[in-house]
Amino acid sequence: MMRVPLNQVKDSLSKYLRLAETEDVIITRHGVPAGILIGFTDPDEWWEELLLRDATFQERIAQARQSLKNGQGRSIEQLKEKYATETS
């Protein structure tokens, strides 16, 4: 990881975005980490990153997993059967 002062990033943002494609760039303000530039190799990675940081989404995932553990879920076969009859 590279650490760069905010004033350098402001002066050369495109340079640091290119660098972020290969390594994370930590942006500092007065020597203290204030943010990070993260590059993505796959255009869809930004969406995955947003979901991983979304507390509501993570809570729903946890609830769904708990429901499955409690036997409240449906199998793929059940879902296929349900939606096959609805679209016919």
pLDDT tens-digit map of 49-78: 889 889 999 999 999 889 888 988 887 888
CATH of 2-37, one of 3.40.640.10, 3.40.1620.10, 3.90.1150.10, 3.30.2230.10: 3.40.1620.10
> What residues does each domain of the chain span?
2-37, 45-87
Residues 1-17: tens digit of each pLDDT: 999 999 999 999 999 99
Looking at the DSSP bridge assignments, the partners of residue 2 are 25
47 vs 6, more confident:
6
The answer to whether 4 and 26 are in contact (CB under 8 A) is yes
Instruction: Determine contact, residues 82/75, Cβ cutoff 8 Å.
Output: no
Amino acid 46 reads: W
